Amino acid sequence: MLIRAGYDIGFTCDQPVPMLAHLSVHASRNRDLRTPQRLFTTRDVPIYDYVDSFGNTCTRLTIPAGGVTLSCGFVIDDVFEPDPVAPEASQAAIEELPDEVMLYLLASRYCETDRLTEVAWDMFGNAARGWALVQAIVEYVHGHIRFDYMKARPTKTAWDAFQEREGVCRDFAHLAITLCRCMNVPARYCTGYLGDMDVPRPLGEMDFSAWFEVWLGGRWYVFDARHNRPRRGRILMARGRDAADAALTMTFGPVTLSRFDIYTDEDRLGLVSP
């Protein structure tokens, strides 16, 4: 399926503010792009990209005094198959994990394994290891947290989400990631586009989405604690230990978000712009 996706995001500020953004499709999906992926700004400002240690494309720019709008639109070819399900995928002993995977067992900014280890082992210590364990964690988080856009805040951690029992997709992901790590399953945070083309009715205002991946059976598998079902049409933008490594935008000074329009739908007419 050809999927049309993109965004128009505006910021205002009183003085120039540097920004770091993860607003590009992840390099692992570059071959699937059917149109150029270019970032446009409403004011002519210098922009350049680099690739970080997680393989994410990072964009650097400085928002001029008054503000700027960032826009991008593209078409990507997607197999539009559900997330793979592999009940037989086994959990490796820590001694057998690849060195590069060990990072995803450790505590991070939003995933406080030290505060949730006892909770995790109390709840899942007797669960079968591997896929069944991760699915049990996903089902728990899915039922434990109530989705509410109004409860989002940039400082909310996995522990906060566990205590408050409400939040947005990144909170579902952070809590599930933390519980997985507590149970010795490597887990990493992902963010990107996820439209509602595979569901019977719209899920609300279009936004970027967060999910996570776990290392089972010698590879990474996608899980989604908010939806708790295989989904179609994910377009990865960035991944890392948690949202601190994959923040859509990070500003180094005071700014106000003035516009936030995201779109993802089937490209029936071959259009790129909304």
Q: Enumerate residue ranges in the chain where pLDDT < 50.
A: 272-274
Q: What is the pLDDT of residue 103?
A: 97
What tokens does 247 get?
């923040």
Q: What is the pLDDT of residue 224?
A: 98
pLDDT tens track for 146-177? 999 899 999 999 999 999 999 999 999 999 99
Q: What is the pLDDT of residue 273?
A: 46
All domains of the chain, ordered by start, with CATH? 2-80+248-266 (2.60.40.2250), 94-240 (3.10.620.30)
> For residue 153, what are the CA distances in angstroms to 31, 110, 149, 255?
35, 12, 9, 16
Q: What is the pLDDT of residue 269?
A: 63
